[in-house]
Structure 1
């Protein structure tokens, strides 16, 4: 439990009841989820696979991966978010196992257990992202895939993801992100290599505020996705 920011947990706990409200602060997550899902499925071939979603929140990604035929476990330390995820799973009939456990503890419990591990929009909310990356790598089987998504650290990302999204467009609650915790792709790539992961792909996620459309592309200046493979 040492790699936890209590303020971040409390922040998401206060918003837990809004996870499945597509017009709430979580609207951007609902909108980018199809992009994330297709990116993950393209490398992991989800059907029939055992998948772990680290920092699953209310289960948006976890449920969608289960709908693609994966056997999914979602973990989070925000208990209120997990309760929302469990209730939604019961209502939707999409089976997902949810556990309140730190990824470091689960890595000690189930090393090399999962075919794929996802950790999306979480690394920028923890004190020690390298510990998360290392644990994700430990949890996946040799040859398995690990996926991360986070925010780049540069003036453009600050302008769009913090000032624009939180203060101008009000897409996110003010204070959602701490710019100092954003990670450059080079930094995350180094963390992945240090954890025994081979980089497969990096794709940027961009948003057009005029059309309201999100898309994947080569522009990693703000949000980006990373696919890796465990090499040992």
Structure 2
């Protein structure tokens, strides 16, 4: 079950694990966009209070913890052990008991807990694994009929290469050089195809833009670089 992971990617994030909760570190962009991601999730799926949520590829727990603060019961899963330990420590220090973390592959968790969760999130993770379609399928398997699945990733085109790699990693140094591989970027059409094949119904998209002069992020209809997709699992037919 752990074969759908790139050891180089896991090592990369393990080396940076101690910086996850430093808002001025390499993870600054995630801290800045997190309120927008959280707001869009709630806009689509409704209030999180009392909902069972799985955050696939949770890293240091930035989104996981934010959803728990909104009242969700959150399970964050990842294969980077050092990142998970940072996430666990931060939640403990913050006194947040509604979030738990596990070192487990999404596919393994889906086999263990099928159709058990109200919401599944998988943010900025698909472009880091060898088989992203398998992760999409696992997310679908984890969610209940009628539940929600949210993905975010990077488009694959010249603009995305210029903005997400040349600009963000080398010119503006918002991210460490080598964070992303252009060949692993995912076109929205590809992600939509995988979602439908996994019996998910795409119901909304949102783009994320950045102005390097004002250092401000905002949501838009432009999916050309960073984008999010909201999907629903069809409700079970009435008995």
Instruction: Give the shorter-chain TM-score range.
Output: over 0.9
What do residues 183-208 of structure 1 show as CA deviations (whole Å, max 9, x unaligned)?
01010000000000001101100001
What do residues 90-149 of structure 1 show as CA deviations (whole Å, max 9, x unaligned)?
011122110000000000000000000000000000000000000000000001000000
Answering whether residue 72 of structure 2 is matched by residue 39 of structure 1, we say: no
- Quote the residue 2:30 is aligned against: 29
User: After the TM superposition, which residues 35-184 of structure 1 pair with which residues of structure 2 at under 5 Å, given as runs?
Assistant: 35-45=36-46, 46-95=48-97, 96-184=99-187
Matched residue of 1:127: which SS? coil
The alpha-carbon deviation at position 223 of structure 1 amounts to 0.0
Moved over 3 A (4+): none
The alpha-carbon deviation at position 212 of structure 1 amounts to 1.0
Matched residue of 1:196: which SS? coil
Alignment TM-score, normalising by the size of structure 2: 0.96
CA RMSD of aligned residues (A): 0.6
Gaps spanning 5+ residues in structure 2: where? none
- Quote the residue 2:189 is aligned against: 186
The alpha-carbon deviation at position 229 of structure 1 amounts to 0.1
The worse-fitting range, judged by mean Cα deviation, of 91-100 and 161-170 is 91-100
CA distance in 2, matches of 1:19, 1:203: 25
Residue-pair matches, total:
232
CA distance in 2, matches of 1:92, 1:70: 16
Matched residue of 1:215: which SS? strand
Matched residue of 1:73: which SS? strand
CA distance in 2, matches of 1:74, 1:11: 19
- Quote the residue 2:19 is aligned against: 18
Matched residue of 1:173: which SS? coil
The alpha-carbon deviation at position 44 of structure 1 amounts to 2.1
Matched residue of 2:224: which SS? coil
Alignment TM-score, normalising by the size of structure 1: 0.99
Gaps spanning 5+ residues in structure 1: where? none
